[in-house]
Amino acid sequence: MAHLFSLTDEQQEISNVAKKFAATEIAPHALEWDQARHLPLNVIRSTARLGMGGIYVREDLGGSELDRLGGVLIFEGLATGCPVISAYLSVHNMVAWIIDTFGNESQRKAYLPRLCSMESMGAYALTEPGSGSDAGALSTKAVRDGDTYVLSGVKQFISGAGVPGTTYIVMARTADTGSRGISAFLVEDGAAGLSFGAPEKKMGWHAQPTRQLILEDVRIPMQNLIGEEGQGFKIAMGALDGGRLNIAACSLGGASAALEKTLRYVTDRHAFGKRLADFQALQFRLADMATELEIARTFLWRAAASLSERSSDATVLCAMAKRFVTDVGFHVANDALQLHGGYGYLLEYGIEKIVRDLRVHQILEGTNEIMRLIVSRSLIEGLK
Amino acid sequence: MGLRILSVIRQVLDAEESVRIKDGMVDPSSSKLVLDTMDEYGLEEALRIRDAQPETEVVALAVGPARCEEALRTALAIGADRAILVETFEPLDVITVGNVAAQVARKEQSDLIFCGGQEADWDSQAFGAAIAEYLNWPQLTWTTALNLEGRTLTGTHDIDEGTESFSVELPAVITTQQGLCEPRYPTLPNIMKARKKELRRESFESFGLHSRLKFIRSEIQVKERMRRIVDGKDGSAAAQQLVEFLRNETRVIG
């Protein structure tokens, strides 16, 4: 638990690099990408040179082998430039982590070098039109046929779907035994029968595509099964623990950027003969925003440390962190908009984009209601 | 044996930070400090030489208080092989720092020295010249392109009349400028390895030098604006008014 109250020099440096990259390569273009619905793959791929293509992947295949705290520092830092770009990288790293953790040696060697170099991007397909929070009820089927599996079904809200060269991890049913009948498969872009729905029109997250992943009798070699049949749900949930930390970190970074913009605004803008920053009501509000973000950050670090240590309460702590940090992040961003007055509502100030982007963090990677369910279950089961 | 390159770096206030004064001195304790961007260009050029000639060794040198270790760790994370910190709390003038760097270069048997063409804080532009003078080496200032073949360094640099091409046999001192190259970011694996790389500390006293600088005080320049606007509807009247204003009120013209 050495991480709780201060960062090591290495962790500080990791945070600095992510923030510097965000300030130099991401922030200046974030609004433009948002407006153009443009995923800047060249910029995203350039993070591979920094080692961000395989943050948790072991070093033998080009990974950076960092722990979860290192990860949240990176995603918070990148999100100060744009939460959407940061979140896209988070999903990519989740895919790489699954292969590194649950894949066999030949899968690791086949996929990890090109994921670490970002020659191929990773996407994760769990949710379906008929099953969101109730992921165990998914109906996409994988039927064994000789030495192949044949996948059919539709996956909903898939971030990064349709990006050329993407490697998909698809959760599909191999047996009718509820969540225990789910298995994880690697599906490569270009597979016959694989297609995509139209890009969804969304409130935020404009810089990355969200589409349906449509599997019509997609035949894949049986070697593309990750782990064993029936292990998919466990893999999916394990991956989401880390994904939840990262999406929380993306909220933290976005909200911190909104607070910083607000500090500049209130010291610049005058009303009734003084700076906005000289009004006590606004000072108190700024203090609350900063305090809540710092509490959120401190707790996120604790949850990250628990996941790295694989402590028994890690899943609960990650759920708490996801719920709390994404709620705080959204409220702080929304307050930042309010403090900007009418200007906050204008695109060019960059605040309304952050509000739009952070709103969905309360929904994806498990809704915040599901997070409460995870926490309350552990409380009630603890009584037994 | 490969080339030995000394990359002299400085720790300065982040350009985004506001300067604070305490007890008549610039107080960096509560501000974010970074590796001077000007020095990053030199480090990048040194690393490019090492990329092409892997037996090259790149040593980062800083002269200053203990906190400069952070800037050296950053240089190690970016890719320097090892680092030297000449520690002192005394505020030093650039000529003295140049003398220290020259002595280190001699001891390290350096072939090539990189440093910033100017400094983000003092902006003296004399640093590279001082090192070259103490070593009696040629110096190439304000370089805009560099290429090393064997021990012959060719490139271009800015002079008053325009751009000049040069060719120099090592050893030499090279100063950088903005746009010389695009410095790389530290990579995550290198950040984790930076701690394990050698960082040697030496005391400034062992160099037998004293600062030639005596600090009186520092203050922040306050710019008062007069916020006067000349009505430009009638051009010649406005010009007349402006001239009068510049002559009589601001005394900018005689």
> What domains can be seen in chain A, in order of their start residue?
9-116 (1.10.540.10), 122-230 (2.40.110.10), 233-383 (1.20.140.10)
The answer on pLDDT for B169 being more than 90 is yes
> Between A171 and A382, where is the model more confident?
A171
Q: B152 is written with which tokens?
A: 């012959």
**pLDDT tens by residue, A45-95:** 999 999 999 999 999 999 999 999 999 999 999 999 999 999 999 999 999
The answer on pLDDT for A384 being more than 80 is no
Distance (Å, rounded) from C-alpha A238 to C-alpha B229?
A: 66
**Chain B contact set for A260 (CB, 8 A):** none
ipTM score here? 0.85
Mean pLDDT value of segment A193-208: 97
Share of chain A above pLDDT 70, in %: 99
**pLDDT tens by residue, A20-34:** 999 999 999 999 999
**pLDDT tens by residue, B225-236:** 777 788 888 999
A135-158: burial string, b at 16+ Cβ within 10 Å, e else = beebebebeeeeeebbbbbbbbbb
Q: Of A232, A231, A221, A227, which Cα lies nearest the Cα of A149?
A: A221
For residues B95 and B130, the answer to whether their CB atoms sit within 8 Å is: yes
Hey, of A50, A58, A78, A267, which one would you mutate to test binding to chain B, going by the most B CBs within 10 A of its CB? A50
> Between B133 and A381, where is the model more confident?
B133
Mean of per-residue pLDDT scores for chain A: 96
Q: A163 is written with which tokens?
A: 């990006």
Which residue in chain B is spatially nearest to A24 when comparing CA positions?
B185
Asked if A14 and B70 come within 8 Å (Cβ–Cβ), the reply is no
Hey, of A12, A17, A26, which one would you mutate to test binding to chain B, going by the most B CBs within 10 A of its CB? A17
DSSP letters, A194-225, are EEE-PPPP-SS-TTS-EEEEEEEEEEEEGGGE
- A residues 37..66 contacting B (CB < 8 A): 49-52, 55, 59, 64-66
The answer on pLDDT for B174 being more than 60 is yes
pLDDT at A4: 63
Least confident of A222-231, A361-370, B23-32: B23-32
pLDDT at A1: 45
Asked if B188 and A20 come within 8 Å (Cβ–Cβ), the reply is no
The verdict on B1 touching A (C-beta cutoff 8 Å) is no
A149: three-class secondary structure by DSSP: strand
The two beta strands, B4-8 and B112-116, are: parallel
**pLDDT tens by residue, A225-255:** 999 999 999 999 999 999 999 999 999 999 9
What domains are there in chain B, each with its CATH number?
4-207 (3.40.50.620), 225-254 (no CATH)
pLDDT at B45: 95
Asked if B188 and A49 come within 8 Å (Cβ–Cβ), the reply is no
A133: three-class secondary structure by DSSP: coil
pLDDT at B178: 86
In this complex, which of B70, B73, B187 lies closest to A51 when CB atoms are compared?
B187
Least confident of A243-257, A324-338, B106-120: B106-120
**Chain B contact set for A27 (CB, 8 A):** none
A4 DSSP assignment: S
Least confident of A33-37, A152-156, B217-221: B217-221
CB atoms within 10 A of CB A3: 17
E-strand ranges in chain A read: 122-125, 141-145, 148-159, 167-173, 182-188, 194-196, 210-221, 225-226, 270-271, 274-275
The two beta strands, B139-140 and B25-26, are: unpaired
The two beta strands, A167-173 and A122-125, are: parallel
**Chain A contact set for B186 (CB, 8 A):** 13, 17, 50
A9-26: burial string, b at 16+ Cβ within 10 Å, e else = ebbebbbbbbbebbeebb
Mean of per-residue pLDDT scores for chain B: 91
Q: Of A256, A251, A258, A249, which Cα lies nearest the Cα of A338?
A: A258
Q: pTM of the predicted model, to two decimals? A: 0.88
Which residue in chain B is spatially nearest to A70 when comparing CA positions?
B188
The answer on pLDDT for A289 being more than 90 is yes
The verdict on B185 touching A (C-beta cutoff 8 Å) is yes
- Give the residue numbers of A marked as catalytic: 365
The verdict on B194 touching A (C-beta cutoff 8 Å) is yes
For residues B170 and B153, the answer to whether their CB atoms sit within 8 Å is: yes
pLDDT at A174: 97
The verdict on A268 touching B (C-beta cutoff 8 Å) is no
